Structure formats: structure tokens, C-alpha cells
């Protein structure tokens, strides 16, 4: 297994109390596999990703438990230097906002080239040639000229391609893309997502794709992990989830995406808002918003029940949810 995260816990101390932003999260990603992590704003997706990447600011965050096994080694126990080396070459991250992730006063060619100079000991000239190759690989027109341009001279979509090129430069085994297309307009979103999926297959890397858009994951993901209030509430192969969700929250997310085959149908929206993580409701944290909630849901926290061997749901009534197709 490329990445195996177990019982990860991250807290923030705030004026209102301790926010359990990641509360016992576990998932695994194999080489060549894409895991989509889904959930509303504030559910802990980015904090989970930052903990795996080792870029979480501590403080304010505190990792209070769990293991992050990357190629068999627990990243949480590695010393600074070793950890940095893995972060530099073994894994890479693609952020939502390329403009703030790229250096504004350095040409994109120099930024891309620097990766090869620092990590591969290449000459400036050789590194520049590799930078052009990479820009061609992510289909930036006139790459040989544009390599001298600065980030602000590119469109949003082209900038995002450059960030993808940066992430893939050293051929990492794992890439984490945190809402990589959210800032782009819809047609450009699809192009960038297709490119990312194509490169993922070609390089056979493990990819964690964080998104709150269930619509984009159907074609690119192998598995989906749905997060709610710092926990994974459903984890399953993508086809199983689309066929029939085993958690009412997943069902709510699915029912709120527009579908071409159901034009004119009233779109469903999950009622209410996600909880404040300093005051997570007792029992099932989703109960105040759940159409299937019953008394037991207000008192007993559901474990992640095994729906089948590669599928889990943290709902006491997952069977009912699975079989109730028309909501
Ligand atoms: N710097 C911080 N200080 C205090 N609490 C924080 C901080 N960063 C994150 N949190 C807490 O962690 C929770 C999860 O944040 P996270 O950024 O992981 O959400 P997310 O799922 O990525 O949401 P989004 O879809 O908006 O990106 C937040 O709801 C908040 O309670
Ligand atoms: S455990 Fe209860 S409240 Fe929670 S999702 Fe299942 S039915 Fe809804
Ligand atoms: Mg986020």
C-alpha cells in the first residue's frame, strides 16, 4: 500500500474550545489509484491533506493521534530532514490557488527548473530544457517562449497546468490535489481535470482528489471517502456509491448534483448547516440534518460499519439507506 492513514486526529485550540477538525480518519491509497475526498466546507478535507503532506502549521494545529504510513514508514515519527526529503520527492500537492502557490517574482521556467537543479543536481541549462518539456507535457502552447514568463502572465487555467507540472516534475508516488479546479470556470475545469486524470494514469501515481463537487469524481476516481465534521462517514468504490449510497449524507450530496438524465427535476439540498467543530452534536454528528434520524442517533455514535469488504458506512441505518432508492 502506498499510503495508509490510520485513526488520524488533528485539533485546533480556539477561543470557543477545542475543534476536532480531523477525528479518527483512516483511508488508504494504492499506486495508480485515485481516491476522491468529498464533503462540505469545514469538514476537515484540507487539514487531513496538510497533515499527510506535513505542511500543517503546528500551532495552531496539533496532531493528537494516528499514523500516516507512506511506503510503509510512519511519517509522524520521522525526523525533520527525512520528512522533508519525502515531501520533496515522494509526494506533491496541487492547490486551488496557483497564483498564491507560485512565486510571483520568478519566471515559471526558473521555478520548474529549480526542482531539477535542487533535487536532481542538473545544470541550469538542462533544467531549463526539462522545464520546457514539462510545460509541453501539460499542453501549454508555445512552451519554449512562455518558459520566460511570470505566473501573472498566464490565464487561470494555464497557471493551474503549471502547478500540475511543478507537482509532477519529480514524478512523485503520491499527489494530493486540493480543489484543483474550483477557482476556474466550468469549461476550463473539465480540461484541467482531464489532464490531471491522464497524467495520473500515465505516471501510475496515487492521487488524492479533494473536492466538494461529486459531479467531477465519477469519471476520475476509483474510490470515494465522504467526510462530515472531521470523520469519514462513507468509504466505497465509486460505482457502489453512485449505484446506491449507504449513508444519508452521501445520498444528500448525490441528490444535490444536477443530472443530465433528470432535467427539470427539483434539486435536493441537504437542510441545515454543518456543525461547529467545537460543539459537535452527540451521537451521530449528522443527526440534526438527517431525514432518517431516530432516537438512537441522538445518543449513540455510529462506528464505521462494514457494508461489505471494501465499503464502510457510519450510519446505524445503512441497510435502510442502501435499499431506499427513491429517497
Ligand atoms: N487555522 C485554523 N484555526 C482554527 N481552526 C481551524 C484552522 N484551520 C482549520 N480549522 C478547523 O478545521 C476545520 C476543517 O478545516 P478544513 O480546511 O480542513 O476544511 P475543508 O473540508 O477543507 O473545507 P473547504 O471545503 O472549505 O476547503 C474547520 O472547520 C475549522 O474548524
Ligand atoms: S446514524 Fe442516524 S442520524 Fe446518523 S446518518 Fe444514520 S440515520 Fe442519520
Ligand atoms: Mg479545504
Question: Would you state the pLDDT for residue 265?
Answer: 57
> Could you read off the pLDDT of 138-184 as tens digits, one per residue?
889 999 999 999 999 999 889 989 999 999 989 999 999 999 888 78
- Lookup: cell for 258: 444536477
Question: Residue whose CA is closest, atom 3 of ligand 2?
Answer: 287
- Lookup: cell for 1: 500500500
> Is the pLDDT score of 202 beyond 70?
yes
Q: Whose CA is closest to 247, among 263, 229, 227, 230?
A: 227
Question: Would you state the pLDDT for residue 266?
Answer: 58
Phi and psi angles of residue 248, each rounded to the nearest 5 degrees, phi first: -60, -30
Q: Please state the atom number of ligand 1 nearest to the C-alpha of residue 227.
A: 21
Question: Would you state the pLDDT for residue 261?
Answer: 59
Higher local confidence (pLDDT), 325 or 56: 56
- Lookup: cell for 245: 449510497
* Rounded mean pLDDT, 101-115: 93
- Lookup: cell for 225: 471517502
Q: How far is the CA of 133 from the centre of ligand 1 (A)?
A: 37
* Rounded mean pLDDT, 56-78: 93
Question: Which run of H or of E encompasses 219?
Answer: helix 214-220
> Could you read off the pLDDT of 67-76 as tens digits, one per residue?
999 999 999 9
Report the DSSP beta bridge partners of residue 225: 37, 235
Q: Is the CB of 212 under 6 A from ligand 1?
A: yes
Question: Would you state the pLDDT for residue 185?
Answer: 82
Q: Whose CA is closest to 53, among 174, 144, 234?
A: 174
Sign of CA dihedral 165, 167, 168, 170: positive
Question: Would you state the pLDDT for residue 30?
Answer: 95
Looking at all shown ligands, the one closest to residue 41's CA atom is: 1
Give the whole-angstrom CA distance, residue 117 versus residue 107.
15
Amino acid at each position: 500500500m502506498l499510503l495508509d492513514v490510520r485513526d488520524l486526529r488533528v485539533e485546533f485550540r480556539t477561543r470557543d474550545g477545542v475543534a476536532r477538525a480531523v477525528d479518527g480518519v483512516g483511508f488508504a491509497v494504492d499506486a495508480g489509484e485515485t481516491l476522491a475526498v468529498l464533503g462540505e466546507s469545514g469538514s476537515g478535507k484540507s487539514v487531513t491533506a496538510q497533515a499527510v503532506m506535513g505542511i500543517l502549521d503546528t500551532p495552531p494545529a496539533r496532531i493528537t493521534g494516528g499514523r500516516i504510513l507512506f511506503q510503509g514508514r510512519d511519517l509522524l515519527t520521522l525526523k525533520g530532514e527525512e520528512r522533508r526529503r519525502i515531501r520533496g520527492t515522494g509526494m506533491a500537492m496541487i492547490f486551488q490557488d496557483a497564483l498564491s502557490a507560485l512565486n510571483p517574482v520568478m519566471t515559471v521556467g526558473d521555478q520548474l527548473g529549480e526542482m531539477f537543479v535542487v533535487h536532481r543536481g542538473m545544470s541550469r541549462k538542462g533544467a531549463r530544457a526539462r522545464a520546457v518539456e514539462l510545460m509541453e507535457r501539460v499542453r501549454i502552447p508555445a512552451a519554449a517562449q512562455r518558459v520566460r514568463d511570470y505566473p501573472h502572465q498566464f490565464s487561470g487555467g494555464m497557471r493551474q497546468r503549471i502547478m500540475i507540472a511543478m507537482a509532477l516534475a519529480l514524478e512523485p508516488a503520491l499527489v494530493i490535489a486540493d480543489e484543483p479546479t474550483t477557482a476556474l470556470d466550468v469549461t476550463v475545469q473539465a480540461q484541467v481535470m482531464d489532464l490531471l486524470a491522464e497524467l495520473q494514469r500515465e505516471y501510475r501515481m496515487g492521487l488524492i482528489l479533494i473536492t466538494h463537487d461529486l459531479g467531477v469524481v465519477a469519471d476520475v476516481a476509483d474510490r470515494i471517502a465522504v467526510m462530515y465534521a472531521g470523520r469519514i462517514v462513507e468509504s466505497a468504490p465509486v460505482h457502489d456509491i453512485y449505484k446506491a449510497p449507504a449513508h444519508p449524507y452521501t445520498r444528500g450530496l448525490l441528490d444535490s448534483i444536477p443530472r443530465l438524465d433528470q432535467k427539470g427535476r427539483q434539486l435536493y439540498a441537504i437542510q441545515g448547516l454543518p456543525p461547529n467543530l467545537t460543539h459537535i452534536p452527540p451521537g451521530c454528528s449528522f443527526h440534526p440534518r438527517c431525514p432518517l434520524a431516530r432516537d438512537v442517533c441522538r445518543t449513540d455514535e455510529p462506528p464505521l460499519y462494514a457494508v461489505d469488504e471494501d465499503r464502510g458506512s457510519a450510519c446505524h441505518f445503512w441497510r435502510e439507506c442502501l435499499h431506499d432508492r427513491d429517497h
